Amino acid sequence: MNKPIRRVSVFCLVLVLALMVRTNWVQGVQAHAWATNKENDRNKYDRYAYPRGNIIVGGAPVTNSDNVNGLRYKYKRSWVDGPMYAPVTGYSSQSFGTSQLESLEDGILSGTDSRLFFRNTLDMLTGDDKKGGDVVTTIDPKAQKAAFEALGNKKGAAVAIDPRTGAILALVSTPSYDPGTFAGSSDADAKAWTNLNADPNKPMLNRALRETYPPGSTFKLVTAAAAFEDGKFQTPEDTTETPEKYILPGTSTELKNASKTEPCTNATLLVAMDYSCNTVFGKIGAELGKDKLRAQAEKFGFNNAKVEVPIRASASVFPKSSSPDGTAMDAIGQHDTRATPLQMAMVAAAIANNGTLMEPYLVDQERSSTLAVVSKHSEKEMGRPVSPTTAQKLQQLMESVVKNGTGEKAQIKGVTVGGKTGTAQHGQDNSGLPFAWFMSYAKGANDKQVAVAVVVEDGAAESAEISGGSIAAPIARKVMEAVVGTK
């Protein structure tokens, strides 16, 4: 071989070696990085190349994988009662990705979770098609339907929890959306997505978990809890030293009650809660001070940015640096206090459960395509915001509100119901329509229990027509009836 040919041969050999090294580097060392790269469209195609697992409610799937046998996508996601379950399932779109359980449980639903390795390997060896696993939720379909239908065309949310376990029985946000309208990759899907995101009513916002509101008078239960725990009061019948006119500390501003006829002057805690006296609980909050109120609120879950069900909820807020007059307003759920519906359901659940707050959860089981259980949720205690003695005093207050006070529309025959109404002002100089709140619990003779929180953003055209007792309480009653029944 002459010298030029030898040089060319060596050069070609170097090129072949370089190609081999590069190929092995890409397929070996960089394989995972390329496979998981968000720009790798094959991931999207592969996700819909076989049936996706289902999200289960009440033993039945509320999702499907429809065989469309397209050029790139063989299957497309569809939903049963999509708008009703959208706050739970989220969406799974060929064009726009996934959200909520469809996203957080994607490994199980798509069949790519490492815990499904044995099942996938067996399917490969037997020639069976790959299948995703199922996610079993805690949702009670009767409670979910009751909340969704009761909210109707109102803008708001409802959350129901089993106080003893933390299982979320209903999670509803309205207005809602149908995930199926943009599940594909067509122009129609793109238009539906654009229209939903441009809608000023924000149908894709999960108001149950991701929106915070001033909780209004429902927060008075947290203030009462702080007062009992601090020893300021011993029983619900204790008399408060409340003047006829209460001036906010350091100001000349009078804190007014909803009506001049309410018996709030020197009222007992029981009467003050029945009539939702602002003066009583504003004064109690100012006297306890912001630090004690904040400590009590945080025991219930406020200021916790890590509440996950597993969908992460926005943190409910009790301010850290209010002035004394601001603290008085914080104590009645106004000023800078804000809460999600989930948070207020957690407060009601802890009270109903004699002071123990269970960690709320939405997923009970993860299963393989053969229904073998991959994981099962273990109930966890999140904390003990109040003592059992204090919880029983708060139960007495809440049950009196439903029997004798502003929550009468939540009464259920033959069922023990406790509740608290709230009508929260908001907007510049309180110019916005008030938010109507109701938080409650019900204990039936069948040993079933439920804690519920409902908020309605725009329950009426006129401010004077809006109250938690008239608008939110009947919605909560429907949800409680769906879980515990009636006599």
**pLDDT of 174:** 97
- Read off the pLDDT band of 34 (50, 70, 90): low
Whether the predicted pLDDT of 35 surpasses 60: no
Sign of the four-CA dihedral 382, 383, 389, 394: negative
Whether the predicted pLDDT of 353 surpasses 80: yes
The domain at 210-363+381-484 falls in which architecture? 3-Layer(aba) Sandwich (3.40)
- pLDDT, the chain, mean: 90
Give the least confident one: 152-161, 262-271, 367-376: 367-376
Whether the predicted pLDDT of 428 surpasses 50: no
Whether the predicted pLDDT of 431 surpasses 60: no
The one catalytic residue in 92, 110, 173, 217 is: 217
Q: Average pLDDT of 53-77?
A: 92
Strands ordered across the beta sheet of 156-161: 168-174, 156-161, 449-456, 435-443, 416-424
Whether the predicted pLDDT of 17 surpasses 90: no
Residue, of 28 and 168, whose pLDDT is higher = 168
Q: Average pLDDT of 1-19?
A: 79
Whether the predicted pLDDT of 455 surpasses 70: yes
- Read off the pLDDT band of 113 (50, 70, 90): confident
Q: Return d(Cα 349, Cα 355) in angstroms, integer.
A: 9
Q: Average pLDDT of 212-221?
A: 96
Q: Average pLDDT of 95-121?
A: 87
Kindly report the length of the chain. Answer: 487
- Read off the pLDDT band of 193 (50, 70, 90): very high
Q: Return d(Cα 366, Cα 310) in angstroms, integer.
A: 13
Whether the predicted pLDDT of 29 surpasses 70: no
Domain boundaries, the chain: 210-363+381-484
User: Of 233, 229, 270, 231, which is closest to residue 388 (Cα–Cα)?
Assistant: 229
Query: In Å, what is the CA distance from 334 to each residue of 87, 220, 321?
Result: 27, 10, 15
User: Of 277, 290, 364, 365, which is closest to residue 320 (Cα–Cα)?
Assistant: 290
pLDDT tens sequence across 274-285:
999 999 999 999
**pLDDT of 465:** 41
217 in catalytic set: yes
Whether the predicted pLDDT of 351 surpasses 60: yes
- Read off the pLDDT band of 116 (50, 70, 90): confident
Tell me the pTM: 0.89
Q: Average pLDDT of 64-73?
A: 87
Q: Average pLDDT of 13-22?
A: 82
Maximum separation of any 2 CA atoms in the chain, in Å: 114
- In 3-state terms, what secondary structure has residue 230? helix
Is it true that the peptide bond before 310 is cis, omega within 30 degrees of 0?
yes
**pLDDT of 487:** 64
- In 3-state terms, what secondary structure has residue 420? strand
Q: Return d(Cα 274, Cα 469) in angstroms, integer.
A: 11
